[in-house]
A and B are shown apart, each in its own frame.
Chain A
Amino acid sequence: MHIVVCIKQVPSSIAVKTDPATQALTCTGSDYLINPFDENALEAALVLKDSDKAKVTVLTIGAAQAADVLREALGRGADAAQFISDAAFDGSDAWATGKILAAAIQKLGDVNLVICGKQTFDGDTAQVGPSLAEFLGWPCVAFVRKIALEAGALKVERMYEEGFEKIALPLPAVLTVGKEINTPRMASLKGRMAAKKAQLAPITAAALGLAPETVGAQGARTRLAKMAPVPRKSGGIKVDGSDAAVAAKTVVDKLREMKLV
């Protein structure tokens, strides 16, 4: 059993700023961490490693400092890490990112299961997991809250706002998970010491057999037109309830005024 976990380095929530001109997220000089849902994905893989003796490989795409998240993952118990880094990947959208990750997973050759966080803290698209599944041609279940491995196949629970679905699927497969699935462990001291020494040579587009124009900004199928902050919800109208009759009349008048009754 070989499990791949895709992780991303994201700015910590406090440090995010937007460029006033382009509205793009600017992350220079801020603190970074592993995308929180990716931590759940890693933990889900490590739980399977503990119980089913799986091998866990973590992948990330990013600039030099993104290797930090791979070291953190190695410290927690991942067996191997792949640092995918090339200027040609800059500006990749969810489609191009899925393509790069799929190429890296295919190159590994013996992967049975891919687990991703359901979405990232910064891009927030929730598209990368399903996108790489499409490139691999593997079944994908998103928003998983429980994973069981039975007789070489998966039984998972997919979350909905009001309930869940039980789904059985064969391997190989791609799953995306949320925070409901587990509490991520912290890295051990020996793990951290070993991870510091890990050699993480960048894997380039050429090494993955990807033509530069098919990935990055050139290969992206979507373009960010505009970004804007989410408008704050108004606080609503508060009705003084000390006199029930007055309060009821106020509410009914208001509903009539809004032509709702």
Chain B
Amino acid sequence: MGVQYGFSEQQTEIRNTMREFAKERVIPARAELDEKEEFPHALLQELGKMDMMGLYIPSELSGFGGGSFDFCIAIEELSRICIGVSVSYAANALGSYPILLFGTDAQLKKYMPPIAKGEKYCAFGLTEANAGSDAGGIQTTAVLKGDKYILNGTKQWITNGGEADTYTIIAMTDKNKGARGASAFIVEKGFKGFSFGKKEKKLGIRCSATRELVFQDCEVPKENILAREGMGFIVAMKTLDTSRPGIAAQGVGLAQGALDEAVTYARTRVQFDKPIIANQAIQHMLANMATKTEAARALTYAAARTIDAEEKDVSKISAMCKLFATDVAMEVTTDAVQILGGYGYMREYPVEKMMRDAKILQIYEGTNQIQRNVIGAALIKEYASMK
């Protein structure tokens, strides 16, 4: 409230559109979707009709043509109400960025319009059982045979797995070259030899679909390689640099949502004949929550603007906003549960879910320890080049 971030008229409209959608459609659905662990298909379909699924996709590919900042504003508003729905929404962008950043004209024209319209979902497959933070440990292989690559291996914990039609997959084309032996591919649901594992049971973001992707002699047409052989690691890193402000925006939105609940409760909960917000102990907690949330928002917007300004290397600022905003989200949601006390611990109130959902933000798309590594490496590089 009252902080000016210089939104354009379009950005104000994006915020209002997603805010109204979240309030009208997601609030009534979120607890049940979480309880039933049901993928929010109907909500995503409606977002498609509202131009929101293609927000970050260029208009010539049937998208809205928005930038990183625009997309962060939309993710923030959705995350304020439900991270499970917002990750199902935002993971489409994570899956799409490899195509948007490295795709040929033919790949862009074939794969992006249905995603932009919400007709198809998208997912990104990097993580494996032995390759989490260490992407160099990827064991899925891709071998060129004639006009096809043959993929073998298993991707783990893939968001939108099974629900998506289009997958961007990192696999090793030359195991001897380490990171430089990785390549990126576009794989369609229905390709021979491509199947899915069971839906994972999770602490939070329960309505989102998380599955294994299983490749058994999966046949991928040669033309579905992104960039060229050996570029897979670069495709993955550029994708994550671009997508991280989106995770930060999830943190900002979630923290704001928890703050909303905490202040509303503290104003109405009466103990010792006065609302608990009259206690300085509570006020100071809320003040810290609000200050950190605003700081996270400012840093996230700064990162998104930096990406939109087409700054060459965005790794550091991108990692910083992801690290800071998601740590803030964990802290603020935990404090919100504390302020709501026993009620906060019960499922009748939304804050226990918010706290469960917050944890994944510190883990996925690079743990916050890895973010610190990225920032550290950037500092070393930056200061070494200064002398």
Contact = CB atoms under 8 A, between A and B. Distances in A.
B10 A193 contact: yes
Interface residues of B, number: 17
A186 interface: yes
B13 A193 contact: yes
B9 A189 contact: no
Contact of A186 (B10, B25, B55): B25
B17 A192 contact: yes
A185 B13 contact: no
Contacts, number: 33
Give the dominant DSSP class at A's interface.
helix
B51 interface: yes
B102 interface: no
B24 A186 contact: yes
A176 B147 CA distance: 61
Contact of A189 (B17, B24, B25, B46): B17
Interface of A: 185-193, 196
B49 A188 contact: yes
B240 interface: no
Contacts of B10: 193
A33 to B, nearest CB: 11
Nearest to A77: B49
Interface in B284-316: none
Interface of B: 9-10, 13-14, 16-17, 20-21, 24-25, 46, 49-52, 55, 64
Contacts of A192: 13, 16-17
Nearest to A185: B49
A260 to B, nearest CB: 43
Contacts of A196: 9, 13
Those 5 A-B pairs whose CB atoms lie nearest each other, nearest first: A189-B51, A188-B50, A188-B51, A190-B51, A189-B17
Contacts of B25: 186
Contacts of B50: 186-189
A188 B51 CA distance: 6
B55 to A, nearest CB: 7
B48 to A, nearest CB: 10
A193 B17 CA distance: 10
